[in-house]
Chain A
Amino acid sequence: MAAILVVDDEVDVADAIQAVLEHSGFAVVTADSASRGLAAIERQQFDVVVTDIIMPKVNGLELIRKLREIHPRTRIIAISGGGSFGPLSLKPDAISTHAFIAAAREAGAEEVLTKPFDMDDLLAAVRRHLPN
């Protein structure tokens, strides 16, 4: 059974992702901050980590970089705040979609999903990055 870590400061989002993944038979652990997520990956090795990018204190990009150091084989799916965060007067989706995708990919994420995403897209992404 594949182990998946879901990190998002929005507990409702993390819980929903957990529900979907558990329903499909994955073992899911959630964390509501990047530092808790870091603590979790130090305890246990996950096959896939699904993490939000913009979070208070330690952000998702740092978590991704740390994860790359500790477990280089763990696959990472970043979920961005949904086309929307930052000075939206200054081209909002440039930040969330292009810039965040670029930043997340640069930090080491395999894939980036934009909130709100469909269940099928989430499952497809997770399955794509599992060994078998």
Chain B
Amino acid sequence: MDRVIHSLRFRLISVVLIINAALVPLLYLGVVAIVEEGYAEQFVNGVRSFSRLTADELEAASDADFEQRGALLLDDAMLTGQVVFTEIIDGARKMHSSMSMEGNAGRRGDDFAFGDQGDQVYYISQAIERSNHPVLLRLGFDESPTLERIAAVKRRILLAVLMFTLVSILVSIWLSTVIARPMMRLREAAQRVAGGDVHARLQMSSTIAEVKDLNHHLESMRQALVGANERLASEIREREVSERKRLELERQFLHRERVATIGTLAGGVAHEFNNILTPILLYSQLALNDTPADGARSRDLGRIVAAAHRARSLITRILTFSRQIDSQGTTLFSLQSTVEEALALLRAIVPANVEIVSEAVTPDITLRGDPSLVHQVVINLCTNAYQAMAGAGGRLRIGLSRVTSDSALPGGVIQGALLEVSDTGEGIEPQAIPHIFEPFYTTREVGKGTGLGLSVVHGIVTSMGGAITVESSVGEGATFRVYFPLGAHDGSDTGGG
């Protein structure tokens, strides 16, 4: 019900009805008043001129035939059918038409106004000059035919007014439909859009300029929304893709790190065992040398030597087995792209509060060797760096540059590439710095690190003929500098050393 009351159609029709109710009676009454006035005037004018003519004829009559002439005129008047009362008053004598004796009876003859009251007769008195004494002509005219005509006209006016009201209501219904229909269409389209069919065009076929304009603007709004929606959707897809990529990189990183840790651990243990086996082998062989070959002691020492040899081959097998990531072998490779590859992995791991800044070197430096080793160096150094900034966050800077013949360079590097990894972390205690590259040395809590990362880096760098230095003070971060020699390792070099 509320919906109907507030609907556009109901309101439009109501307004038309209210306007009709206010104006139609006024219109009707006004028109009727004019019509009545007109008819009354016409009637009165007719009556007056008729009376005047009759009076003139009576005046012109001679005294001798006055009475006869009077009677004749009164009869003529009666014969017109309009006059219902006739009287001539000459002093004390009254003269009436012979045709209206009963019509005159009881008539008071004092209704001098036109209208539907009293006896519906309009009376008029006309003074006539007769031989120095006044004679009065009185006539009564029937009003009813005129009144009937007025009533008929009033009925026609009423009918016309009612027709007007009816037409205006029909027009309002039609108009409200014309305006409401496009809105209904719009509502349907909006419902489709809301229901998910965002590509449903908003089409309000209407000839009304405002509605067309509204449709145009709503349609461009819909198109803008569809565009924004598509942009959002593609952005979400992109994010999903990059998130998947990030997770894949993270997985790769963790896998590589785990494998590297296992390998490093195995390698570190093997290193220690080889160190332990060396004196066992040497001392037992020395003792075996001084012992007669046929005794039980010689046999026992021989068994020690054999056991040490077995241990040596077992270690070799373990090392072969733990070789999980295929080395890329010795090749020419771009230092820049190897470092960038490692950084791509790191970006997936490094927490958001650590900013990674990398500075490239131009032209690129080509090294000869195993790129996966350099990869491991970058990963290990950066992992250490961001872990040193854990919690507070900070900046991790990776720089590449070319260094040339400086005898002061550590490791005796003459010409080479310099990889710098610096952090803004907690720094390294001065007493820890001399031990930092030793295997199993760690300042982290038990279980937080293997203590092998930097020794691995040291091992790789040394094996490549390079060098590594560290510079740090507590609270001010640390900078690791790795020098890779060119010369024999640099394929781009002209001579090579």
Contacts and interface: CB of A to CB of B under 8 A. Distances in A.
A90 B463 contact: no
- What bracket does the count of chain B residues touching chain A fall in? 35 or more
B12 to A, nearest CB: 84
B274 A83 contact: yes
A127 B456 CA distance: 34
A107 B439 CA distance: 23
Contact of B463 (A56, A103, A115): A103
Contacts of B260: 87, 89-90
Interface in B435-450: 435, 437-439
Contacts of B370: 90-91, 94
A106 B488 contact: yes
A43 to B, nearest CB: 22
A92 B282 contact: no
A5 interface: no
B312 to A, nearest CB: 6
B411 interface: yes
Contacts of A85: 267-268, 271, 439, 455, 459
Given A61-B465, A81-B274, A95-B463, A116 B308 contact: yes
Given A57-B434, A87-B456, A19 B283 contact: yes
A7 to B, nearest CB: 14
Given A53-B462, A91-B323, A119 B281 contact: yes
A89 B270 contact: no
Nearest to A11: B279
B325 interface: yes
Given A23-B286, A91-B327, 19 more contacts: A10-B278, A16-B282, A61-B411, A61-B465, A84-B268, A89-B324, A89-B325, A90-B260, A92-B263, A92-B323, A93-B319, A99-B463, A103-B462, A107-B465, A115-B278, A116-B274, A116-B278, A116-B281, A119-B281
Contact of A82 (B263, B271, B372, B434): B271
A42 to B, nearest CB: 17
Contacts of B316: 83, 93
Contacts of A122: 282
- What bracket does the count of chain A residues touching chain B fall in? 35 or more
A13 B278 contact: yes
Interface string A35-71: 0000000000000000001101101011001000000
Nearest to B266: A88
A75 to B, nearest CB: 20
B474 interface: no
Most chain B CB neighbours (cut-off 10 Å) among A13, A16, A89, A118: A89
A122 B376 CA distance: 34
Contacts of A115: 274-275, 277-278
Interface string A1-17: 00000000010110111
B47 to A, nearest CB: 135
Contacts of B276: 12
A116 B283 CA distance: 12
Contact of B263 (A88, A102, A106): A88
A95 B459 contact: yes
Most chain B CB neighbours (cut-off 10 Å) among A17, A90, A115: A90
B146 interface: no
B464 interface: yes
B89 interface: no
A99 B275 contact: no
A75 B459 CA distance: 24
Interface of A: 10, 12-13, 15-17, 19-20, 23, 53-54, 56-57, 59, 61-62, 65, 81-96, 99-100, 102-103, 106-107, 115-120, 122
Contacts of A89: 256, 259-260, 262-264, 322-325
B275 A83 contact: no
Contact of A88 (B267, B279, B312, B463): B267
Contacts of A15: 279
A118 B288 CA distance: 12
6 contacts: A61-B462, A82-B315, A84-B270, A84-B315, A88-B264, A100-B463
A53 B463 CA distance: 9
B45 interface: no
Given A53-B462, A85-B268, A87-B264, A13 B319 contact: no
Contacts of A12: 275-276, 278-279
Contacts of A118: 281, 285
Contacts of B464: 99, 103
Contacts of B266: 88
B289 A88 contact: no
B312 A116 contact: yes
A87 B281 contact: no
Nearest to B497: A106
A104 B476 CA distance: 36
B463 A20 contact: no
B460 interface: yes
Contacts of A17: 278, 282
Nearest to A101: B463
Nearest to A114: B274
Contacts of A53: 462
3 residue pairs, one from A and one from B, having the closest CB atoms: A82-B274, A89-B263, A88-B267
